[in-house]
Amino acid sequence: MEQVIIDGDHLTIEDIVAVARHNAPVALAPSAKEAVDRAHAWVERIVAKEEPVYGINTGFGIFADQRIPSSDSAKLSRNLILSHSVGTGVPLADEIVRAAILVRANTLAKGFSGVRAVLVETLIALLNKQVTPVVPSQGSLGSSGDLGPLSHLALVFTTDSEDREDESGFAMYQGEILTGKEAMRRAGIDRLILGAKEGLAVNNGATFSAAIGALAVYDAQTLLTGAEISLAMTLEAVMGCSGAFDMRLHAARGHAGQEKVAKAVQVLTRGSSLIDGYGRIQDAYSLRCAPQVQGIGWETLSFVRGVIEREINAATDNPLLFDPGVAVSGGNFHGEPVGVVMDYLGIALAETASISERRTFRLLDGHLNADLPPMLVDRCEDAGLNSGLMMPQYTAASLVLENQTLATPDSVHSLPTSAEQEDHNANAMTAARHAREIVANTAHVLAIELFTASRALDLRKRINPAMAIGEGTVKAYQAIRKVVKYRPGDALWGPDIDQIKTLLVKRVLEDSIEVDF
């Protein structure tokens, strides 16, 4: 797998996915090492002058005015990590922690933080040797960044003169959860005693929020494409109207995302004998207005991606150091940009799932599905003895309702901390975690629609064996039927839906289409 080179400026979302999910190797660019060394020399000069500079030789937060002797620099950094490691909740997924390590290494590689190069190289070693710290999922406000999660991460690879194992946190290594000290020993990575500024440089910034955001952006693109496929399949299964996808109509409104969805449906359904086959004048909103509802998701994603791409290449600790060694204190750690766009993304995906569930509902209602059996039982006479796909729609409805709660904005909520010194907090980590949950729920809702629409097309073909499915949708249908076969009677549907979800999230369906939208 191609190596990911970090220099502080060019990390991509795709790089993060490659490292976090596929263990791509990572290296530090030589130019970045030079920038890191230069900034560290500035810190050493500040320490030697013994002039008070926040985060280097002072306390933190409400204790910013407390002067700390240079001789206590290591103790100051260690105390920061120990005292801030108070997260709670189930551990974050390994891919999130690996993504956060990469983002943090890239942040420090910019050369504004004043750390030693060995610190960045140690973070990279965690990735390359697959030592993954156990990090609790709750307890971060996203301001001053993700202090708690980053401190739990730092417990594993940092230490002090006592080198206590019970203060080393925990890490996953080679399939086993070990103390941080033991995991590092087995992996052959030396733990670091942090110096001046390094504790704050490690744990200051909305890094975990941004890491979750990057993964969510990548997955959201997959789901929005999948929603176009499921929409096209359902449109054919219910013999829907083509007029609502006329490009003249969408050009008249001028929203690029709306036009994109309409064009995708046209391409996918090209050559279909089912479209316009029932004689309706117009369809219900879940079909007719799908370009408008799903299209704004694409435009939202474009904006969100831009913010997240900037954030994963941003200097986010405090203070930052600039030539010729000037420390400037500010608020780049504040997670508001990430929190707000995660709320936006969650709302857009929640709506995508919502309209998908409505289409699934229509496929199952014998009064709305253009004469297919109710609940898509194999034959109408089987109704009652068999429940058909009644319950998958229940699951979809439940997930949509859950999304509606999760999509309530988190970034508008704030509580003050640190004796009012930090009087406006971003709540970015919660927003990012909720967006990730919405992503997962939406994937399952779309898988249910794909499962349902595939069955509806099977039943439609029984009615008219000569029917032609669209050039694009037939390829998606075939990809589904390759792994999930039609079963006439009631069955354990759940595993089939899970298999289709795997096809969706791994982009197998997207790749099977072989057409450019």
Is 300:308 a contact under the CB 8 Å cutoff? no
Give the pairing type, strands 88-91 and 158-159: unpaired
Q: What distance in Å separates the CA atoms of residue 276 and residue 140, rounded to the nearest whole number?
A: 52
Q: What distance in Å separates the CA atoms of residue 314 and residue 308, rounded to the nearest whole number?
A: 10
**In 290-342, which ranges are E strands?**
320-322, 326-328
Q: Which residues contact 432 (CB under 8 A, 6 or more apart)?
A: 142, 208, 209, 210, 212, 213, 216, 338, 339, 342
Is 27:6 a contact under the CB 8 Å cutoff? yes
Is 504:446 a contact under the CB 8 Å cutoff? yes
Q: What distance in Å separates the CA atoms of residue 206 and residue 6, rounded to the nearest whole number?
A: 18
Q: What distance in Å separates the CA atoms of residue 205 and residue 155, rounded to the nearest whole number?
A: 17
Tokens of 29: 């660019």
Q: What distance in Å separates the CA atoms of residue 344 and residue 427, rounded to the nearest whole number?
A: 14
Angle in degrees, 0-180, between the axes of helices 13-22 and 94-109, rounded to the nearest 10: 130
Beta bridge partners of 176: 173
54 given a catalytic annotation: yes
CA distances from 144 to 61, 417, 488 (A): 9, 10, 57
Active-site pick, 54, 173, 285, 394? 54
Q: Which residue do the tokens 């907090």 mark?
A: 425
Tokens of 407: 């999509």
Q: What distance in Å separates the CA atoms of residue 262 and residue 247, rounded to the nearest whole number?
A: 7
Supply φ then ψ for residue 497, to 5 degrees: -65, -40
What order of strands is seen across the sheet that includes strand 131-133? 131-133, 170-173, 176-179
Q: Which residues are catalytic?
A: 54
